Amino acid sequence: MARVPGIRCLPMVAYVDPYQCRRCGKCFSRRSYLTRHREIFHQRELFKCQLCEQAFLRSSTLKRHILKVHETKRQFICPHCSKTFSQQSNLNQHISGVHEGRKPFTCPICGRSFSRRSCSRKHIAMVHERRRPFTCQICGKSFSRQSYLSEHTSVLHGSELRGRRFNCQQCNKSFSFQNNLNRHISVVHERRKSFTCRHCNRPFSNQSNLTVHVFEVHEERRPFTCRHCNKFFSRLGSLNRHISVIHEKRK
Query: For residue range 75-128, what is the model confidence (pLDDT) as tens digits?
Result: 678 888 877 776 777 788 788 777 877 777 888 778 888 877 777 877 777 777
Instruction: With respect to residue 42, please indicate whether it lies within any of the assigned structural domains.
Output: yes
pTM: 0.27
Would you place residue 152 in the very low, low, confident or very high pLDDT band (cuts 50, 70, 90)? confident
Query: Which range marks the domain in which residue 60 is found?
Result: 18-72
Instruction: With respect to residue 30, please indicate whether it lies within any of the assigned structural domains.
Output: yes
More confident residue, 151 or 193: 151
pLDDT at 166: 79
Instruction: With respect to residue 177, please indicate whether it lies within any of the assigned structural domains.
Output: no
What does the mean pLDDT of the chain come to?
A: 71
pLDDT at 168: 85
pLDDT at 24: 65
Average pLDDT over residues 18-28: 69
CATH number, residue 61: 3.30.160.60
Our count of domains for the chain comes to 1
How many CA atoms, within 13 angstroms, populate the side-chain half-sphere of residue 248? 12
The residue among 75, 69, 73, 74 whose CA lies nearest residue 54 is 69
Please give the share of the chain, as a percent, with pLDDT higher than 90. Answer: 0
Residues 211, 128: Cα–Cα separation, whole Å: 12
pLDDT at 98: 79
Instruction: With respect to residue 34, please indicate whether it lies within any of the assigned structural domains.
Output: yes
Would you place residue 250 in the very low, low, confident or very high pLDDT band (cuts 50, 70, 90)? low
Residue 9: pLDDT above 70?
no
Instruction: With respect to residue 46, please indicate whether it lies within any of the assigned structural domains.
Output: yes
Residue 73: pLDDT above 70?
no
User: Kind and range of the H or E element at 60?
Assistant: helix 59-65
Average pLDDT over residues 29-40: 70
Instruction: With respect to residue 60, please indicate whether it lies within any of the assigned structural domains.
Output: yes
The residue among 122, 155, 124 whose CA lies nearest residue 139 is 155
Please give the share of the chain, as a percent, with pLDDT higher than 70. Answer: 61
Would you place residue 13 in the very low, low, confident or very high pLDDT band (cuts 50, 70, 90)? very low
Residue 70: pLDDT above 50?
yes
* Chain centroid to CA 223: 25
The residue among 128, 118, 174, 176 whose CA lies nearest residue 152 is 176
Average pLDDT over residues 204-211: 72
Instruction: With respect to residue 131, please indicate whether it lies within any of the assigned structural domains.
Output: no
Backbone angles phi, psi at 23, to 5 degrees: -85, -40
Would you place residue 160 in the very low, low, confident or very high pLDDT band (cuts 50, 70, 90)? low
Instruction: With respect to residue 39, please indicate whether it lies within any of the assigned structural domains.
Output: yes
Average pLDDT over residues 27-43: 68
More confident residue, 199 or 206: 199
Average pLDDT over residues 31-48: 65
pLDDT at 191: 66
Residue 183: pLDDT above 60?
yes
Would you place residue 186 in the very low, low, confident or very high pLDDT band (cuts 50, 70, 90)? confident
The helix/strand/coil state of 42 is: coil
